[in-house]
Amino acid sequence: MDRARRAGFSGNVLGELVSETYESEVQTIATWMGNSAQRALLLDPEAQRIGIGVFQEPGNRLWWTMTIAD
């Protein structure tokens, strides 16, 4: 939530999902959907906005993040 605010987001952040090592966004979302708490956040009926980011380390490890807000 602090990162979203530092980036200038003024809405209500519902939560953030973070994952690493998955090669694609499809694998990442499938993994999040397989966890009940993460799935609940993804399917939250209050959620209206998302922010998605990916970062690749020099060793090719990928980090995925999704911030969900109302």
Q: What is the mean pLDDT of the chain?
A: 90
Helix (H, G, I), strand (E, B) or coil at 59: coil
pTM: 0.81
Tally of domains within the chain: 1
- Here the CATH number for the domain that contains residue 48 is 3.40.33.10
Nearest to 51 by CA among 6, 19, 22, 9: 9
What are the pLDDT digits (tens) for 30-44?
999 999 999 999 999
| pLDDT (0 to 100) of residue 47 | 94
Whether the predicted pLDDT of 3 surpasses 80: no
- Domain ranges, residue 24: 2-69
